[in-house]
Structure 1
Amino acid sequence: MLLVDGGLMFRTFFALPPMTDPKGRPVNAVYGFVSMLLRLLATLRPSHVAVAADSPVAENRRAVLYPPYKANRPECPPDLAPQFALLREVLAALNITVVGVRGYEADDLMGTMARMAEAEGMEVILLTGDRDAFQLLSGRTAVQYVKRLNQTITYDVARFVTEWGILPSQLADLKGLAGDASDNIPGIRGIGPKTAVRLLQQYVTLEAVLAHAHAQPGKLRQRLEEGREIALLSKRLATIDRHVPVSCTPGACALDLDLDTGAAVFEELHFRSLLPSLRRAMA
């Protein structure tokens, strides 16, 4: 099963020059997203596919828990915002499932669907530009990390451990200690990734690190003791929810691309150059 992060629309929007359809609507993000998706469908040949859609940050359960969450990010560009609804229309025409639940982020939806797909015996690939998804790596789930629009890097558990020095299941613990500036997750002030990795290699979990704060020297002990509550909150913010009440199952997301309706919507949007990619994805 291929699970796709709808947040990749931001990547495609900034990677491509402005484009409009015959109605004057901006479409560059949709074009780039669909192009990337069709290329991966032709390469990976998944039996099941779903695209996970984010909720607005203001409705995000993490922002309710911690209002500064992602508050450091700029507003969605006005030419990008209307393209999310247009993407849903295009995916519907292609007969590709979109999963979205109010209050949850795309990685929560991918985590939930991946858990369910694994339980059904499926192998799972996550297509995303969000490193948070690395915590979902397992013997059955891999990540195609989008570095650039036309470049992905495949991560499995072994590659992650080699690069990060911890297990995928420890990623939220790492962010609990060191934070994550990209999401405005604070972590403990004065503790960086190297120290966090060293502590997790010794104690495994954030909770165990905090329980052994007294065994640490000087400043580190003080930081761990004073930062306990913010560290636990940061871990909670960084942890993907794998039990979201989604409305569909992986088994209901069988890939069955519709050439006729897909070609019609491509013609309407002047995406004619994507027709060969659609045919290759169906071959």
Structure 2
Amino acid sequence: MYNKQYINNAFLVDSTGFALKYWFSMPPVKTKNFESIAAFLGFASFVIRLLKNYKPKYISFQFDESLGTCFRNKLYPDYKKTRESAPDELKNQLELCRKFLTLMGLDNNASKKYEADDILNTIAQNTRKGGLKNIILTNDKDLYQIIYKGDIWWDFKDKKYSYKDLVHKLNFSPQDLSDFLALMGDSVDNIPGAPGLGEKTAMVLMGKYKSLKKIVQNLETIPEELGSKYKRFVKIIKDNQKIIYLSKKLATLEYITDLNKDIAAIERKVLDINGLEALFLETGMKEGQKESWLRDIKKLFIS
């Protein structure tokens, strides 16, 4: 049932991102009960393939349900303001995805207060303390910051980065990614950053000084070290430290103290095959596909 090669790895999945990929890429599959189950079918197929190919013992799936209600919105009301709420059709399919995972005996979590990234960060810290190495499945560059030595960031396609790869790619530690975002901001999440200081300048400053703290400590000598054109950026940083440090807080992943710290919580549990069959009937998926999936799923739980 488990692959010995991955027995000391925790597979931690940024699930909403994968579900959204299938939502956007697959044509609608209308059934008698749902406007479409395409995202559910794509996501469930991805999970089955993941279990079949890698046979992990430790695995956990995180979902985003905090848009507009996240603790970051109290710090900065415009946080993710440009994001549209998920339509009901997508919300229904995400709920089906979570039901599927639970019936498969697979840990899955979501929160109205915290983002999926915060949950992933918390579980990754707990598994690391428990002696496991993490494989983070995601398309989200924000999750570079939870990659430590022995861990892997993977988009489940061709992009796969170790800690060493990320240090080489960024020219600073991935744990300091929030410092980088504090300077340049993040238009996707509507994190303001320092006005007038873009990605290239932030990359040069972080490459030279490695952290926001050291940049601030060395403000007076930056033009001498990097050139006179940086006088303008030094002034920007001096004049905007409040918004810069707010941006750092928004970009820094939280550790959730009341989340279960026991790594046994993410061990694969018993399969509920009858519950799965009932779920597949509820979705209205085709009979042939239902039977094929049930056969394939049963094989996943044979030692």
- TM-score, length basis structure 1: 0.90
- Alignment correspondent of 2:86: 76
- Alignment correspondent of 1:2: 11
Q: Alpha-carbon deviation of 1:198?
A: 2.0
Selected match of 1:184 from 177, 185, 190: 190
Q: How does 1:25-40 map to 2 (within 5 A)?
A: 25-40=35-50
Matched, 1:278 2:287: no
1:45-90 CA-to-partner distances (Å, cap 9, x unmatched) read 2111111122321210111211111111223133212222222221
8 Å contact kept, 1:124–1:142: yes
Matched, 1:97 2:107: yes
1:81-107 CA-to-partner distances (Å, cap 9, x unmatched) read 222222222112212111233300001
Deviates more, 1:207-216 or 1:118-127: 207-216
C-alpha separation between the residues in 2 aligned to 1:281 and 1:178? 45
Selected match of 1:239 from 239, 243, 252: 252
8 Å contact kept, 1:166–1:197: no
Deviates more, 1:234-243 or 1:194-203: 194-203
8 Å contact kept, 1:266–1:274: no
Q: Alpha-carbon deviation of 1:265?
A: 2.7
> How large is the Cα RMSD of the aligned pairs?
2.1
Deviates more, 1:215-224 or 1:181-190: 215-224
Q: Alpha-carbon deviation of 1:279?
A: 4.7
C-alpha separation between the residues in 2 aligned to 1:268 and 1:78? 17
1:184-218 CA-to-partner distances (Å, cap 9, x unmatched) read 11111222222212212322211221232222332
Q: Residues 161 and 279 from structure 1, CA distance in 2 versus in 1: closer, same or farther, beyond 3 angstroms?
A: farther
Selected match of 1:209 from 215, 219, 231: 215
Unaligned runs of 5+ in 2: 1-9, 224-230
8 Å contact kept, 2:67–2:85: no
C-alpha separation between the residues in 1 aligned to 2:36 and 2:151? 35
8 Å contact kept, 2:14–2:120: yes
Matched, 1:220 2:233: yes
8 Å contact kept, 1:117–1:250: yes
Overall identity of the aligned pairs, in %: 28
C-alpha separation between the residues in 2 aligned to 1:186 and 1:171? 15
Matched, 1:155 2:161: yes
C-alpha separation between the residues in 1 aligned to 2:62 and 2:127? 14
8 Å contact kept, 2:13–2:61: yes
Aligned pair count reads 279
Matched, 1:16 2:30: no
Q: Residues 25 and 244 from structure 1, CA distance in 2 versus in 1: closer, same or farther, beyond 3 angstroms?
A: farther
SS of alignment partner, residue 51 of structure 1: strand
C-alpha separation between the residues in 2 aligned to 1:113 and 1:228? 32
C-alpha separation between the residues in 2 aligned to 1:198 and 1:106? 30
8 Å contact kept, 2:170–2:207: no
C-alpha separation between the residues in 2 aligned to 1:250 and 1:25? 38
Matched, 1:125 2:135: yes
8 Å contact kept, 1:137–1:157: yes
C-alpha separation between the residues in 1 aligned to 2:55 and 2:301? 9
Moved over 6 A (4+): none
Unaligned runs of 5+ in 1: none
Deviates more, 1:172-181 or 1:95-104: 95-104
8 Å contact kept, 2:149–2:164: no
Residue type matched to 2:132 in 1? M
Q: Residues 230 and 281 from structure 1, CA distance in 2 versus in 1: closer, same or farther, beyond 3 angstroms?
A: farther
Deviates more, 1:231-240 or 1:23-32: 23-32
SS of alignment partner, residue 108 of structure 2: strand
Q: Alpha-carbon deviation of 1:266?
A: 3.1
Matched, 1:175 2:192: no
